[in-house]
Structure 1
Amino acid sequence: MTQTTVPVIFDLDGTLVDPAQGISDGIAAALTELGLGIPGKARMDAMIGPKLSHSLTDIAGVPAEQLDDAIRIYRAHYRATGIAQSRLYPGIRELLESFVEAGRPLAVATQKPEGIARTVLEYHGIAVLFHTIRGSAADEAAAAGVPSGKASIVAAALADLSTGHGLDTQHAVMVGDRAQDVAGAAANGLDCIGVGWGFASDGELDAAGAVEIVHSSTALHDTIVRRDQVPDAAATPNAVNPDQNHNAVIEVRTDGNV
């Protein structure tokens, strides 16, 4: 076995931070001001994670001609009160600090606009723990030099780690709570570890192809540390275990938190 230090790229909402109240209140405020109906809790939860413009149109049914106003009203409400309503999930601060102390490279890749993502992380005092924080453009539209879509955002975070910081990202892993996190990781050749405390619907992470699903920060810590042990390719060239299913989902359940 070869010892390495696996870099970790984290999603933000639903993975590091519980943003539900702030996001839901902001969406409700926007829809109310525009005279539109407010979805129930299940549909509101489904709006956390995907690109906001897609959620507003596809789930909340905001007409195209009102979309810009809905985003503007939401952003103003979220900046004013929503960020302060967010909470770090149990054990996350300690998990990140333990990784930094051990020299593990960390990054964030989120579909939330990059400036807002940094503000959220700074509010919780953890922005300094990451080598890079990557998100979408301020208006969520494609712009020069700004990634668009989860796959591109993950790619930008990887490039920052490997090129900007000279780190080995060969064995990097993504951690997220929704199917788009798994898809964004896969598009960049990465495995994705799913977290069970976020906003995925039942079976969503399994169907998307998350390599493991964990249910506590302790389990996440242990799962990532295990990935530091890389099989020695020189000792087992082209070895394939016929009994190993690389697409299997392993559920890890523990009660403690790091």
Structure 2
Amino acid sequence: MTHPPLPAPRPLVLLDLDGTLMDSAPGVLSSVRAAYGHLGVPAPADAVMRTFVGPPIRRSFTAHGVAAEHLADVVAVYNEHFGRVGVWDTTVFDGVPEALRTLRDAGALLVVATAKPVAWAVPICAEVGLTPLLDAVVGAPADESESKAQIMGRAIAWVRSTTGVDPDPARTVMVGDREHDVEGAHAHGIACVGVGWGYGGEEELLRAGAAEVVHDVADLAPRLLHRLGLPAPARPPS
């Protein structure tokens, strides 16, 4: 007895959230300042605090002066302030909705894979209007205990369970702005396209092994379509 062939997997774009699709720095930084204020010590300079945007917050506090015995309390203050105020202080980068529409119209699956806790990632995507442009939003657990590679693994598993086929690594790409996005992609054998408008910068991305860095949002969809072997959308008649 022969079985019908499985459908070909659709090209998959995994998307970081903070610094890639949206500028969440104002809300994150205000919450970081509140946490350091609670501890009674000066917050790091803004340039340093911008590195807090994206990675798990516990890791950032630990790397910048918060002792282990104070960590749980500082994170709790951060989470309270961010959940009440900071999470909503965010804006979608200009051109991102158009890029997502172009990719979806070309046949790509779009799945957010973010280190932001899913309890915040899902409502903020809905609030800023991204949800209708995405196929799924996969975020970190509340304790932020997973690496970016693990979060990406769950995003890929969601695609497998939903479509019934494994994504093709050659037609899967991660889009992000920090080194952990690149490292997570490499853990799954896929390329990472870095974005230069985020918080990591070109040097960090290339040092981590990004396949390329896109500096203008308007160039993102064309570059991804080319990489995934998808046709560019037809131009409307003039």
Q: TM-score, normalised by structure 2?
A: 0.87
> Which secondary structure does the structure 2 equivalent of 1:206 belong to?
helix
CA distance in 2, matches of 1:115, 1:167: 28
Q: TM-score, normalised by structure 1?
A: 0.81
| Superposed displacement of residue 125, structure 1 | 1.5
> Which secondary structure does the structure 2 equivalent of 1:49 belong to?
coil
Deviations 1:205-226 (A, max 9, x none): 1111110100112211111111
Matched with 2:205 is 205
Residue in structure 2 matching 1:46, options 51, 64, 68: 51
Deviations 1:35-78 (A, max 9, x none): 1220001110111111110001102x111111111111111111
| Superposed displacement of residue 228, structure 1 | 3.1
Matched with 2:123 is 119
Amino acid at match of 1:162: R
Q: What 5-or-longer segments of structure 2 have no aligned partner?
A: 1-7, 231-238
Whether contact under 8 Å (1:114, 1:138) holds in the other structure is yes
After superposition, residues 20-99 of structure 1 pair within 5 angstroms as 20-59=25-64, 61-99=65-103
| Superposed displacement of residue 202, structure 1 | 5.3
Is residue 2:149 matched to residue 1:151?
yes
Is residue 2:179 matched to residue 1:179?
yes
Residue in structure 1 matching 2:21, options 16, 21, 25: 16
Amino acid at match of 1:85: D
Amino acid at match of 2:217: S
Residue in structure 2 matching 1:109, options 113, 131, 147: 113
Between 150-159 and 67-76, the greater mean CA deviation after superposition: 67-76
| Superposed displacement of residue 201, structure 1 | 4.2
Count of residues in correspondence between the two structures: 221
> Which secondary structure does the structure 2 equivalent of 1:192 belong to?
strand
Whether contact under 8 Å (1:4, 1:228) holds in the other structure is no
> Which secondary structure does the structure 1 equivalent of 2:20 belong to?
coil
Is residue 2:219 matched to residue 1:219?
yes
> Which secondary structure does the structure 2 equivalent of 1:109 belong to?
strand
- Return the structure number with greater helix share: 2
| Superposed displacement of residue 18, structure 1 | 0.6
Whether contact under 8 Å (2:97, 2:133) holds in the other structure is no
Matched with 2:142 is 138
Q: What 5-or-longer segments of structure 1 have no aligned partner?
A: 142-147, 231-258
Between 126-135 and 112-121, the greater mean CA deviation after superposition: 126-135
Amino acid at match of 1:81: V
CA distance in 2, matches of 1:177, 1:35: 31
Whether contact under 8 Å (2:13, 2:175) holds in the other structure is yes
Between 23-32 and 71-80, the greater mean CA deviation after superposition: 71-80
CA distance in 1, matches of 2:58, 2:106: 38
Q: Percent of aligned pairs with the same residue?
A: 38
> Which secondary structure does the structure 2 equivalent of 1:112 belong to?
strand
Whether contact under 8 Å (2:9, 2:167) holds in the other structure is no
CA distance in 1, matches of 2:50, 2:161: 36
Whether contact under 8 Å (2:177, 2:201) holds in the other structure is no
Runs of 4+ in 1 over 6 A off after TM superposition: none
CA distance in 2, matches of 1:124, 1:96: 14
Between 171-180 and 65-74, the greater mean CA deviation after superposition: 65-74
